[in-house]
């Protein structure tokens, strides 16, 4: 048995601490589209003052931390970015993938197939036989694979924790009609029969919506969990069975038809028949399926690989259930919860709070079939840069100004690397949009501006991937401030801060096996904007609470058409 998964870890470089002067130059340059002439002058003076004063001190502290730790960032990032925020993990942290329908419409058969394929991937992770990823020969950090299975996020007051359980646990937890079942998945030939059995015995009565508690404010959920555990040993054992399971499988009563319906169900469902503290597979009544990911321990590329393995194995018929043999002894155990009035009040409040939050949200899936990466590449432009410029133009159409845009970029070429921010809004992108909006501008000028904007985008993406972009460095400097010390005005400057108000929170994950993916907005009046670029299509999933999702979708389609028309003149 060859143990490959973590073999490269000891050879990975550490995340660098960028040069202070370079970061501040990049920060000012990326903020320029948001600043008036006077504001730019003032912000430059503030940053120069910071560089020569407090910035130098904080940089020294950060360099010292980096010399003493394997990663100067990871502990801060995991805690402050994921485990300490008290907002509900759904919709504000978890994300989803909606699968293409590949293997029919029989719910228990689809669920059994997905479980078997998932456990095949788990076997590769557990034995460490899984090959680590690399980009052009550069190995990527695989540290977070250990939390893919048999782990959970546990709610605690002030800060949650991620707990890893024995990987030899092969059971999965199946949720059906709000009721929880522990399923021994060690015999794949029995899976379909057992899942049908679960559906049959759970159909008569809906359970108390224990799962809704995972949609609650984390402090409230912590209190509720503590109370439920205090009621009986049975409750504690049921929670432990859930926590330690390989994965969660939610069998839904709903049978969505449209992408919008299926995507909403994958994102949040009804908030009851789910368990958002763990990764979960969702199978609808009509056999459509999805995956909801708990985000605190890992980012999308790991769960993407799992889902591509699952769907690829099923598409190529490498996973066979064999004969679905009836069994004398079903390996299904219903998990019991003994609840009192206080516990039921926690559940009722969680349902009410979740419904209020999601009642304010909209989701619009825009499937654009005008063209995709094939056409974009034929114009000698990066597809990602092109699609980011479509978004810039669309936002200008909607609101008449440049957007603050976050684009996620993985930094897994470094030990314990997670993500950095690409800042797609630039002087070049702003000039491109200005020319597109100027009816007197020439097509040649617009085309040149698009190429310049795309080139700048790739430059910034390179900085992000190499750990020398702006946002994580400034985050690290702020964390080096000691108690009682006042943060320099440069890092509190309202004008500069416009560039990092993430009105468009964007991230690209593309797979031929997905019919969509998405997550929440991060700014109150902004948009979550997950996107995928296929050979002949582009898909955006727009989430927001501002009621402008359909308007932005219209502007994206219009802008995508305009870029095609422009480049066909080239």
For the stretch 474-486, pLDDT in tens is 999 999 999 999 9
Distance CA(475)–CA(80), nearest Å, equals 11
Give 101's DSSP letter.
-
Of the CA atoms within 13 Å of residue 225, those in its CB half-sphere come to 25
> In the prediction, which pLDDT does 536 show?
97
Q: What residue segments make up the domains of the chain, in order of their start?
A: 9-79+363-569, 92-321+330-360
pTM (global) more than 0.85: yes
464, HSE (Cβ side, Cα atoms, 13 Å):
20
| pLDDT in the model for residue 332 | 86
* Positions in the chain short of pLDDT 70: 1-2, 321-331
Residue 334: name the closest of 200, 150, 232, 170 by CA: 200
* CA atoms of 484 and 488, how far apart (whole Å): 13
What was the pLDDT predicted at 140? 97
CA distances to 35, 271, 411, 433, 471 from 427, rounded to whole Å, are: 11, 42, 25, 10, 18
Residue 209 near residue 224 (C-beta atoms within 8 A): no
Helix, strand, coil shares of the chain, percent, nearest 5, are: 50, 15, 35
**CA-closest candidate to residue 43, choices 499, 490, 500:** 490
Peptide bond before residue 155 is cis, with ω within 30 degrees of 0 = no
Token couple for 376 = 């974009």
165: which residues sit within 8 A by CB, 6+ positions away? 150, 151, 152, 243, 244
Residue 295 appears among annotated catalytic residues: yes
Q: Judging by DSSP bridges, how do beta strands 172-176 and 248-251 pair with one another?
A: parallel
Q: Are 311 and 327 in contact (CB under 8 A)?
A: no
Strand partners, 543: 363, 528
Return the DSSP state at 519.
-
* Whole-angstrom distance, CA of residue 434 vs CA of residue 436: 5
Coil/strand/helix, residue 402: coil
d(CA 453, CA 93): 31
**Tokens of residue 444, six digits:** 């040649």
* φ and ψ at residue 313, rounded to 5 degrees: -65, -40
Pairing of strands 248-251, 289-293: unpaired
**Residue appearing with tokens 């015995």:** 201
Residue at token pair 């059971």: 171
Q: Which residues pair with 529 in a beta bridge?
A: 506, 542
- The mean pLDDT value of the chain amounts to 96
Topology of the domain covering 9-79+363-569: Chloramphenicol Acetyltransferase (3.30.559)
Q: One of 99, 171, 295, 488 is an active-site residue; which one?
A: 295
Output the pLDDT for position 324: 57
DSSP code, position 83: I
In whole angstroms, give the CA distance from residue 248 to residue 48.
52
C-alpha Rg value of the chain to the nearest Å? 25
Residue pair 552/394 in contact (Cβ under 8 Å)? The answer is: yes
**Rounded CA separation 453/434 (Å):** 12
pLDDT score at 570: 77
CATH of domain 92-321+330-360: 3.30.559.70
Contacts of 71 (CB under 8 A, 6+ apart): 14, 15, 414, 415, 416, 417
């Amino acid at each position: 048995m060859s143990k490959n998964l973590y073999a490269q870890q000891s050879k990975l470089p550490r995340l660098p601490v960028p040069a202070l002067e370079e970061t501040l130059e990049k920060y000012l340059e990326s903020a320029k589209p948001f600043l008036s002439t006077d504001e730019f002058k003032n912000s430059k003076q503030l940053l120069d003052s910071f560089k020569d004063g407090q910035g130098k001190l904080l940089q020294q502290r950060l360099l010292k931390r980096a010399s003493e730790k394997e990663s100067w960032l990871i502990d801060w990032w995991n805690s402050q970015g994921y485990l300490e925020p008290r907002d509900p993990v759904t919709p504000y942290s978890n994300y989803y993938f909606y699968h293409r329908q590949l293997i029919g419409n029989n719910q228990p058969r689809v669920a059994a197939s997905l479980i078997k394929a998932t456990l095949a991937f788990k076997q590769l992770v557990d034995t460490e036989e899984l090959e680590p990823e690399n980009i052009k020969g550069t190995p990527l950090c695989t540290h977070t694979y250990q939390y893919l299975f048999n782990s959970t996020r546990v709610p605690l007051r002030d800060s949650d924790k991620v707990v890893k359980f024995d990987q030899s646990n092969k059971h999965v937890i199946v949720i059906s009609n709000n009721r929880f079942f522990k399923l021994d998945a060690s015999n794949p030939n029995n899976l379909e029969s057992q899942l049908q059995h679960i559906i049959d015995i759970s159909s008569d009565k809906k359970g108390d919506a224990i799962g809704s508690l995972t949609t609650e404010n984390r402090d409230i959920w912590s209190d509720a969990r503590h109370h439920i555990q205090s009621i009986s040993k049975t409750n504690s054992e049921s929670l432990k069975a859930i926590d330690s399971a390989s994965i969660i499988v939610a069998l839904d009563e709903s049978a969505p038809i449209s992408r919008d319906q299926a995507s909403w169900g994958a994102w949040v469902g009804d908030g009851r028949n789910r368990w958002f503290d763990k990764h979960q597979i969702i199978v609808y009544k009509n056999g459509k399926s999805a995956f909801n990911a708990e985000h605190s321990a890992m980012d999308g590329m790991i769960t993407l690989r799992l889902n591509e393995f699952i769907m690829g194995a099923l598409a190529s018929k490498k996973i066979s259930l064999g004969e679905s043999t009836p069994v004398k002894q079903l390996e299904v155990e219903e998990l019991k919860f003994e609840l009192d009035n206080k516990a039921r009040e926690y559940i009722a409040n969680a349902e009410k709070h979740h419904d209020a939050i999601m009642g304010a949200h909209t989701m619009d899936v825009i499937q654009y079939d005008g063209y995709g990466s094939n056409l974009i590449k034929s114009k000698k432009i990066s597809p990602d840069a092109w699609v980011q410029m479509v978004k810039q133009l669309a936002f200008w159409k909607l609101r008449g100004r440049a957007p603050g845009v976050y684009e996620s970029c993985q930094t897994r070429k470094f030990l314990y690397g997670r993500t950095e921010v690409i800042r797609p809004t630039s002087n070049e992108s702003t000039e491109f949009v200005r020319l597109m909006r100027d009816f007197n501008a020439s097509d040649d000028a617009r085309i040149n501006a698009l190429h310049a904007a795309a080139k700048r985008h790739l430059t910034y993406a390179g900085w992000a991937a190499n750990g020398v972009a702006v946002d994580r460095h400034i985050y690290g400097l702020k964390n080096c401030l000691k108690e009682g010390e006042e943060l320099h005005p440069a890092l509190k400057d309202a004008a500069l801060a416009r560039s990092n108000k993430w009105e468009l929170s964007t991230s690209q994950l593309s797979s031929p096996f997905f019919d969509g993916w998405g997550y929440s907005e991060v700014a109150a009046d902004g948009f979550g904007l997950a996107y995928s670029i296929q050979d002949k299509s582009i898909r955006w999933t727009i989430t927001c609470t501002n009621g402008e999702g359909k308007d932005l979708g219209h502007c994206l389609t219009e802008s995508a058409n305009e870029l095609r028309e422009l480049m066909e003149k080239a």
